Structure 1
């Protein structure tokens, strides 16, 4: 199911056939450094992850989506909304294969996710990142998120920066 299309991108629900890509993305050194090890250490782990994502689509009406090139259908990364137990609204989460970073794909796909969130009637969304992830912080500010607070979230040993985007 396609949830958004932009000039260059398509955001769609994950499919089982995306497991190899998810495995590769979630094991990129930059992904592990800035987002963390999500326990996807094999293609089978990625398949199980995709099954959980499919359940979350049903439970919440949103979750992460595959970001692909609209013309070639080449997967570039993921972007979407995640409802965490410790936040009162979903947060936007995104990651790209490093070769696609710096080309505007994260911003383009994030704008599509923000538009989608607005159609769901969500009053605001969060974004979380770590101090070292300067690129994500700059992107969030360019998307009109504002710094909200610094907090130790989800049993983290280092503080997380929490940003907020309120829809008016």
Structure 2
């Protein structure tokens, strides 16, 4: 799957170094995610093996920047009920934030889910993650609800906000708000 600047593709072993450098070693990327920073290159090699296995049976991809060919993030979706999808994580390395890549990824995921017959799409963000919330709103999502949760890694409480969008295939194959 492709956008103007990005390719979403399945992980390959040789992606371990770019993912480690651009994403997995970066605390600012992990801050609002449910994973811990990968401590070193050996751990990154093991992590890419787990990622490859994970992606085999899921709608989950690495994000590659077309201009450099590097893996710069990851994205995924899952069907939670028939025709109802949610994002299963979208992350970009800090050097790749603010370039419009998040919007390209989310739009591509919406189009993908609509092509599978998706009718609704849910997007969640930590309440403190202002860029992620802004992304949802810029893509036509509407606020649905908030829920207080406990971070399994550190025991801290946080608020998770969920946004909702109705998917409707338009004549040109793109998704519009319903």
Same structural fold, with TM-score higher than 0.5 when normalized by the shorter chain: yes
Aligned with 1:5: secondary structure?
A: coil
- The alpha carbon displacement at 1:149 in A equals 0.4
The gaps in structure 1 that reach 5 residues or longer are none
The gaps in structure 2 that reach 5 residues or longer are 169-178
**Deviation digits for residues 86-112 of structure 1, max 9, x if unmatched?**
xx6332521111111111111112211
**Deviation digits for residues 125-144 of structure 1, max 9, x if unmatched?**
21111111000100110011
1:147 aligned onto 2:146: no
Instruction: Tell me which protein shows more strand as a share of its residues.
Output: 2
The list of structure 1 runs, each at least 4 consecutive aligned residues, that deviate by more than 6 angstroms after superposition, is: none
The alignment of Structure 1 onto Structure 2 pairs a total of residues equal to 158
Instruction: Give the TM-score taking structure 1 as reference length.
Output: 0.80
- The alpha carbon displacement at 1:52 in A equals 3.8
Instruction: Give the TM-score taking structure 2 as reference length.
Output: 0.76
- The alpha carbon displacement at 1:56 in A equals 2.9
Provide the alpha-carbon RMSD of the alignment.
2.5
The equivalent residue for 2:24 is 26
Whose Rg is larger? 2
Aligned with 1:152: secondary structure?
A: strand
- 1:1-168 alignment to 2 at 5 Å? 4-24=1-21, 25-38=23-36, 40-41=38-39, 42-57=43-58, 62-63=59-60, 65-82=61-78, 89-153=85-149, 157-168=157-168
